[in-house]
Amino acid sequence: MAMQFVLLSLVILKFTSAFAATLNEAYGDSSCPLGTDIYQISCPEAEAIIFSMVEHAISQDSRMAASLLRLHFHDCFVNGCDASVLLDDTQDFVGEKTAGPNLNSLRGFEVIDAIKSELELICPHTVSCADILATAARDSVLLSGGPLWKVEMGRKDSFTASKNTANNNIPAPNSTVDMLVAKFENVGLTLQDMVALSGAHTIGIARCPTFTSRLQSSTISDNPFDNMEFIASLQQLCSAPDNSNIGTQLDLATPATFDNQYYVNLLSGEGLLLSDQALVNGNDETRQIVETYVQNPQFFFEDFKNSMLKMGSLGLAQSNGEIRRDCRTIN
Ligand code: HEM
């Protein structure tokens, strides 16, 4: 038993240093924001454990990368990144899981639970659920071929959640560019952040009810970026009377690879959500950014990384919170 423990520790240590070396190589000499090393002493294996468990989850279900990335977004847009999205409803508590954008849609809770359980065994009451979410989102992007960044740590887990705020703050898929910009500015993010972060739709799936508005003929104008063949194929896909569980990839060309293909699709009229296609159909400023990302994928990666850091720091300064022992319930 003791030998097994030593072996396990060695494997973890080896993995930790290999992982740290990869991170150091990737970051170079760039100065790290305050808080990136806060678990270095209290839980040095935390990042390596999260990485390997996310990797395992994706190997079992390739869509999980997309689901974990989205979970972090839906957390951060509701009173900051404080793991409020993970709280379960109880008899006298209403969480965010039944809010319109989340119900029957958000996935990945079990993966976060498994990571939390493992971390509680190794360094109890140390790593917040909100930090796990932010790190799992980063790892999901990296494992799908996207950019790497160093996650700023130190988030606290909330004592509360807000279904109303989830309904109000999370943008709807039938939004115009003005509506999208308003939702992002509401939490302190810019139009540029909105276009860059929408690139997350380079992975994952959306269900028919979320793009019905895209299929209605009244919304299809004679726009150079409309693609009637694509619309017809979606109409066909969603033609069943109960299409609530039918879905398709947000990026049909490279569905599981984090790349700039999402923006390429927009220019050929193959954005799945109305809000995706609106980035080129509805606004010159957003279309120019899309064109830049098509011409230069590195600009997309750089902007995505920076906007994820901005989104991930929403509410980071809040001191009111705790380190939950179980991400689904306050201590
Ligand atoms: C710009 C406004 C946005 C709107 C209107 C929007 C809307 C949606 C909708 C409707 C879905 C499909 C949900 C379903 O069918 O159940 C979806 C999926 C997804 N969204 Fe967004 N989203 C936006 C921004 C973002 C951002 C900022 C991120 C992350 C940084 C993100 C990441 C994802 C991912 C990865 C998926 C696929 C999830 C999966 O397959 O499980 N989205 N989004």
Query: What is the reported pLDDT for 223?
Result: 75
Per domain, the residue ranges of the chain are 36-168, 171-309
Ligand 1 atom at shortest distance from the alpha carbon of 108: 41
Pocket test for ligand 1, best of 201, 307, 309 (most atoms within 8 A of CB): 201
Q: Whose CA is nearest to atom 1 of ligand 1?
A: 198
pLDDT in tens, 97-153: 999 999 999 999 999 999 999 999 999 999 999 999 999 999 999 999 999 999 999
Q: CA 322, CA 316: separation in Å to the nearest integer?
A: 13
Selection from 169, 203, 201 nearest residue 278 by Cα: 201
Class in CATH terms, 171-309: mainly alpha
pLDDT in tens, 155-194: 999 999 999 999 999 999 999 999 999 999 999 999 999 9
Rounded to the nearest angstrom, the distance between the alpha carbon of 251 and the centre of ligand 1 is 12
Rounded to the nearest angstrom, the distance between the alpha carbon of 201 and the centre of ligand 1 is 6
Query: What is the reported pLDDT for 3?
Result: 36
CATH for 36-168, among 1.10.3720.10, 3.40.1190.10, 1.10.520.10, 4.10.320.10? 1.10.520.10
Cβ pair 262, 276 in contact under 8 A: yes
Residue 120: left if φ>0, alpha if ψ -120 to 50, beta else—which one? alpha
Cβ pair 81, 75 in contact under 8 A: yes
pLDDT in tens, 43-94: 999 999 999 999 999 999 999 999 999 999 999 999 999 999 999 999 999 9
Identical fold for domains 36-168 and 171-309, yes or no, is no
Give the chain's largest Cα–Cα span. 71
- Which residues does a 6 A CB cutoff place in the pocket of ligand 1? 63, 66-67, 69-70, 73, 105, 107, 171-173, 175, 180, 194, 197-198, 200-201, 203-207, 210, 247, 250, 273, 275
Rounded to the nearest angstrom, the distance between the alpha carbon of 194 and the centre of ligand 1 is 12
pLDDT at 32 over 60: no
Query: What is the reported pLDDT for 220?
Result: 65
Q: What are the strands, taking DSSP E only, across 147-228?
A: 205-207
pTM of the predicted structure, to 2 decimals = 0.91
Pairing of strands 205-207, 247-249: antiparallel
Cβ pair 234, 248 in contact under 8 A: yes
